[in-house]
Amino acid sequence: MFVLWREREAELRSFFQKRDGKNGRMLMIAMTAVFIDALFWLNKKKVGQLQDIEAAAARLKHKPVNIEERLRFILIKPESYHSFTQLRALMNELEKLTARSKAMGEL
């Protein structure tokens, strides 16, 4: 998942550098789905329904700080540059959480 993110992050960055968030919207939605999958898999949970996914993410044991508000922000306006920077930060935090969980023997 993190390899996929790194491959697509450059493409997303290119959209936003050109101020073309509208055309990057679908890729942002796809990469947000990748983030959600990785977050739930880290917690050994299945992604249930997407309705109220922010609250479900907030109930997880291993999660980035303020996940509910940050995820809601991204889902409301995925074509925004600020959503891209937020998703990039969340992916970085999730990668660190994953490494920590592996080191602690929780994965």
Tens-binned pLDDT, residue by residue, of the chain (107 aa): 899 999 999 999 999 999 988 889 999 999 999 999 999 999 999 998 888 999 999 999 999 999 999 999 999 999 999 999 999 999 999 999 999 988 988 77
The pLDDT value given to residue 51 = 87
The pLDDT value given to residue 54 = 94
11 CB burial (10 A radius; 0-12, 13-18, 19+): exposed
Closest Cα partner for 88 from 9, 30, 29? Answer: 9
The pLDDT value given to residue 1 = 86
